[in-house]
Structure 1
Amino acid sequence: MDNKMFCFQCEQTAGCTGCTGNAGVCGKTAGNAKLQDELTGALIGLARACSGNPRTDKTDRLILEGLFTTVTNVNFNDDTLREMIARVNEEKVRVVPGCAGCPSRCGNIDNYDMSRLWKADEDIRSLKSLILFGIRGMAAYAYHAMVLGYTSARVNEFFYKALFVLAEDWRMEELLPLVMEVGEVNLECMELLDRANTETFGTPIPTEVPLTVEKGPFIVITGHDLYDLKLLLEQTEGKGIHVYTHGEMLPAHAYPELKKYPHLKGNFGTAWQNQQKEFANLPAPVLFTTNCLMPVKDSYSDRVFTTEVVSYPEMVHVGDEKDFTPVIEKALELGGFSEDTEFTGINGGRTVLTGFGHGTVLSVADKVIEAVKAGEIRHFFLVGGCDGARPGRNYYTDFVKMTPKDTVVLTLACGKYRFNDLDLGTIGGLPRLMDMGQCNDAYSAVKVAAALAEAFECSVNDLPLSMILSWYEQKAVCILLTLLHLGITNIKLGPTLPAFISRNVLDYLVNNYKIAPIGDPAKDLEEILG
Structure 2
Amino acid sequence: MFCFQCEQTAKGEGCTKIGVCGKKPEVAALQDLLIYAVKGLSLYAVEGWKVGVGDERVNRFACEAIFSTLTNVDFDPDRFVTLINTSVKLRDSLKEKIRATGGNTDFPEGPAAFIPEANLDNLVAQGEKAGVKSDPDIHPDILSLQQLLIYGIKGVAAYADHARILGQTDDNVFAFIHEAMAATLNKELGVDDLVGLVMKCGEVNLRAMELLDAANTGVYGHPVPTKVPLGPKKGKAILVSGHDLKDLEDILKQSEGKGINVYTHGEMLPCHGYPELKKYPHFYGHYGTAWQNQAKEFDAFPGAILMTTNCIQKPRESYKDNIFTTGLVGWPGVTHIADKNFAPVIEKALELPGFPEDTQGKSVMVGFGRNAVMGVADKVIEAVKNKAIRHFFLVAGCDGAKPGRNYYTEFVEKVPKDCVVLTLACGKFRFFDKDLGDIRGIPRLMDIGQCNDAYSAIKIASALADAFDCGVNDLPLSMILSWYEQKACAILLTLLYLGIKDIRLGPTLPAFVSPNVLNVLVEKFNIGPITTADDDLKAILG
Normalised by the size of structure 2, how large is the TM-score? 0.93
Structure 2 counterpart of 1:328: 346
SS at 1:458 equivalent: coil
Deviation at 1:118, TM superposition (A): 6.2
TM-superposed deviation, 1:511: 0.4
Structure 1 residues 491 and 98: alpha-carbon distance in aligned structure 2, compared to 1, 3 A threshold: closer
Q: Does 1:110 align with 2:113?
A: yes
Partner residue of 2:193 out of 167, 171, 174: 174
CA distance in 2, matches of 1:152, 1:317: 29
Number of aligned pairs?
517
Q: 1:268 aligns with which of 287, 291, 310?
A: 287
| 1:287 equivalent in alignment to 2:306 | yes
C-alpha contact 2:2 2:133 (8 A) present in aligned 1? no
Q: For residue 50 of structure 1, give the secondary structure of its aligned residue in structure 2.
A: helix
Deviation per residue, 1:246-285 (Å, 9 max, x gap): 0000000000000000100000000000001111132111
**Contact 2:47 2:98 (8 Å CA) reproduced:** no
**Aligned mates of 2:76, 2:390 — CA distance in 1:** 50
Opposite residue 34 of structure 2, the aligned amino acid is L
CA distance in 2: counterparts of 1:104 and 1:458, whole angstroms:
51
Of 31, 36, 44, the residue aligned with 2:39 is: 44
Q: Residue 52 of structure 1: SS of its match in structure 2?
A: helix
Change (3 A) 1:492 1:98: closer
Counterpart mapping for 1:344-359 below 5 A: 350-359=362-371
> Which residue of structure 1 aligns with residue 122 of structure 2?
none
User: Are the structure 2 counterparts of residues 352 and 118 from structure 1 closer, same or farther at C-alpha, using a change threshold of 3 Å?
Assistant: farther
Is 2:55 the partner of 1:56? yes
SS at match of 1:434: strand
Query: In structure 1, what is the equivalent of residue 409 of structure 2?
Result: 397
Instruction: Tell me, in whole angstroms, the C-alpha distance in 2 between the residues paired with 1:341 and 1:122.
Output: 55
Shift in CA distance, 134/414, structure 1 to aligned 2, threshold 3 Å? same
Residue by residue over 1:8-40, the C-alpha shift from the partner in whole angstroms, topping out at 9 and shown as x without a partner, is: 00000000000011x111100000000000000
Cα deviation per residue 1:366-404 (whole Å; 9 max; x = unaligned)?
Answer: 111111001100000000000000111000000000011
Structure 2 contact 107–113 (Cα < 8 Å) conserved: no
Q: 1:340: how far off? A: 1.9
Please give the alpha-carbon distance, in whole angstroms, between the structure 2 residues aligned to 1:426 and 1:75: 41
Q: Secondary structure at the match of 2:96?
A: coil
Mapped pair 1:81 → 2:83: no
Q: Deviations over 1:155-184 (max 9, x none)?
A: 111101001101111211111100000001
CA distance in 2, matches of 1:406, 1:115: 47
Tell me, yes or no, if structure 1 residue 214 matches structure 2 residue 233: yes
Contact 2:390 2:419 in 1 (8 A): yes
Per the alignment, in what secondary structure is the counterpart of residue 279 of structure 1? helix
Q: Mind listing any 5+ residue stretches in structure 2 that lack a counterpart?
A: 115-128
Residues in 1 aligned to 2:173 and 2:95: alpha-carbon distance in whole angstroms: 23
From 337, 349, 356, the counterpart of 1:338: 356
Q: Tell me, what secondary structure is at the counterpart of 1:397?
A: helix
State the partner residue of 1:255.
274
SS at match of 1:280: helix
- The CA distance in 1 between the partners of 2:217 and 2:29, in whole Å, is 38
The question of whether the paired residues in 1 share the 8 Å contact of 2:436 and 2:444 is answered with yes
Instruction: Give unpaired runs (5+ residues) of structure 1.
Output: 344-349
Of 26, 30, 33, the residue aligned with 1:31 is 26
CA contact (8 A) 1:138 1:189 kept: yes
RMSD: 1.6
| CA distance in structure 1 between the partners assigned to 2:207 and 2:302 by the alignment | 42
- Are 1:221 and 1:245, in contact at CA under 8 Å, matched by a contact in 2? yes
Q: Give the residue type in structure 1 aligned to 2:182.
A: F
Q: 1:312 maps to what in 2?
A: 331
Q: Match for 2:519: what amino acid?
A: D
Q: Secondary structure at the match of 1:420?
A: coil
- Tell me if structure 2 keeps the 8 A contact 1:117–1:125: no
| CA distance in structure 2 between the partners assigned to 1:90 and 1:139 by the alignment | 20
How much does 1:454 deviate?
Answer: 0.8
Given the superposition, is the C-alpha separation of residues 118 and 256 from structure 1 closer, same or farther in structure 2, using an over 3 Å criterion? farther
TM norm structure 1: 0.95
